[in-house]
């Protein structure tokens, strides 16, 4: 499985999708965020009502979007998100 990643506001966001093969929604989306100094966050899951998905590609793209949102929250709202 290829892992998607992107750059957003000098942070690297990496999709972290966990497979649960026996589930009807087998992919749990989350992300890792690396700040400009090289510190890596813990795995940050999407909210419970949105984190399980049936399609791997959708799960990876949702994970990246969630990571971009978290970076924006931390930099714009000055709230500690990761």
Domain total in the chain: 1
Q: Which residues pair with 45 in a beta bridge?
A: 30
Answer yes or no: is 81 within a domain: no
For 25-75, write each residue's pLDDT tens digit: 999 999 999 999 999 999 999 998 898 999 999 999 999 999 999 999 999
pLDDT at position 70 is: 96
Instruction: At 45, list the tokens.
Output: 């899951």
The rounded radius of gyration (Å) of the Cα atoms in the chain is 13
Domain coverage including residue 9 = 5-76
CA distance 80 to 27: 27
Question: What CATH number did the domain enclosing 56 receive?
Answer: 3.30.160
Nearest Cα neighbor of 46 from 24, 35, 61, 57 is: 61
For 1-82, strand residue ranges (E) read: 5-8, 11-15, 18-19, 27-28, 30-34, 44-45, 52-53
Q: What is the pLDDT of residue 1?
A: 61
């Amino acid at each position: 499985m290829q892992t998607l990643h992107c750059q957003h506001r000098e942070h690297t966001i990496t999709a972290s999708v966990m497979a649960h093969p026996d589930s009807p929604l087998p992919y749990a989306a989350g992300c890792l965020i690396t700040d400009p100094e090289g510190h890596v966050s813990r795995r940050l899951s999407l909210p419970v009502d949105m984190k399980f998905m049936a399609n791997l590609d959708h799960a990876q793209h949702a994970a990246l979007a969630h990571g971009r949102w978290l970076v924006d929250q931390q930099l714009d709202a000055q709230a500690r998100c990761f």
